[in-house]
Amino acid sequence: MLKDIEQTTKTGFSKDFLWGGAIAASQADGAYNEGGKGLDTQDLRYFDSSWNREKRNENRNINMTSERFETALKATEIENYPFRWGIDFYHNYKNDLALFEEMGMKVFRTSINWARIFPNGDDENPNEEGIQFYIDLFEECHKKGMKVFATILHYNIPANLVVKYGGWKNRKTIDFYLRYAKVLFERIGNRVDYWLPFNEINAGKFNPYNGVCLIKDQEDDYESAIFQCIHHQFIANALTIKLAHEILPGSMVGGMIARFTTYPATCKPDDVMQMILDDQYSNFFYTDVMARGKYPAYMERYFRKNKVKIQKQAGDDELLAKNTVDFLSFSYYMSMVSTTDKEWAKASGNLVTGNKNPHLKSSDWGWQIDPVGLRISLNQMYDRYQLPLFIAENGIGAFDEIGEDGKIHDQYRIEYLREHIAQMKEAIIDGVNLIGYTMWGIIDIISCGTIEMSKRYGVIYVDRDERGQGTNKRIKKDSFYWYKKCIESDGEKLD
């Protein structure tokens, strides 16, 4: 028996571990009105490069209004709508993929833009030029030795679906989404190795415009509208899993959340209880539905307390129960603390502002850096679900400067990656079945949160400023060569 245990002990990353990088179509592609693409909801987010830091942070947290939405629909200029220009990945993807190949990437995560396949969302027939773009993109990935991890919906839906139907609060949107997913499975099919129906499905609660495309001033009961939208996404997620397994037998279809790792601020029992509640309401509710196939009991109290009302149709619960995910993925950037102390200092973070941990350092944007929290999250999620795990996003947004030698010396990014990857290795030794890691913003893209180009995540620099001006040239940062060495050594060489 002891011999058997020794033989199965994990010592680190396996040879088939999927090292890679991730981007989102809305943040990278540009070409917002080319190739038959329609306007999508991210194309409508406004940014002014003259804003100071306070105004930029304020804009990050402002909910979309009817007035802003209508103005953006009519706007024809692109300077103040950065998601319309991105980094022009649409025209440059072959060169970018060549850089990824040089780095040794084994998997590339990107999203498919719904408005490029169905420009209005409710079109009877798909846009052939859009389909061909993704066929070409994914075939190029495979030619360069990279698997494809495709996100079907990374926040942005065709704007027409919001104008005409109200977006995800209307159950008809499920049908339009399934028509879109069916086209992807039938026409693009086995060119994708891992499918993800929804990016960060809990974003609907914490950033309702991004996550579920709600316009706050149009809702009488905003909280109920949010959870109604999320319910419709849960149903769409389950139906997409069902459809994928029917059309593409053996396909891997996952679920994803933005992981909000939290610790009790003190050993005071009230703080510990608050941590449990925060974990349930922010994280586990969403993964419980997708992986366990049912609404957890603790949400009944939450809905009752917050007067949330959700309309379900007959058969919804059975559908969720029968169509659970094949793997779970999550984004991980930071951790926070839970407390009942209303005066506790605050810290910024992905989608949310939370309570500050005095034991952690912070990034340029105030996100708390916690490598050990990644190991904690991996253990917690694997213990709870016993499903393969995939880190779909992880990285650090920072101000990068080109030095006098024409290079970018981003030692801070190398340190961030080194410390997080070291903790991933520890989690694998703990027994966690971690199958892949796609570093977020592998190449500089527009920041989703603040809509800035200056918040850079990549190991590849893109010469564009906040107004979209620049050569658009790609420059390898020091972290490019570090990550290349990490991949070549299967995570063993982290110095």
Catalytic residues: 200, 393
> φ and ψ at 191, to 5 degrees?
-75, -10
3-class secondary-structure state, position 145: coil
3-class secondary-structure state, position 336: strand
Rounded CA separation 461/398 (Å): 12
Number of residues assigned to the chain: 495
Rounded CA separation 163/292 (Å): 34
How far separated are the first and last CA of the chain, in Å rounded?
37
Concatenating the DSSP letter of every residue in 347-364 gives EB-SS--EE--TTSEE-T
Burial of 401 (0-12, 13-18, 19+ CB in 10 A): exposed
397 Cβ contact list (under 8 Å, min separation 6): 363, 364, 365, 367, 441, 447, 455, 456, 457
- Bridge partners of residue 256, in order along the sequence: 329
Rounded CA separation 397/413 (Å): 9
Rounded CA separation 80/69 (Å): 14
DSSP secondary structure letter of residue 367: B
Rounded CA separation 188/337 (Å): 43
Q: For residue 341, what are the CA distances in angstroms to 76, 188, 200, 275, 355? A: 47, 51, 28, 12, 10
CA angle 469, 470, 475 (to 5 degrees): 140
Rounded CA separation 420/418 (Å): 6
Q: For residue 393, what are the CA distances in angstroms to 49, 117, 248, 304, 442? A: 26, 25, 26, 33, 10
- Neighbour count for residue 227 (Cβ, 10 Å): 21
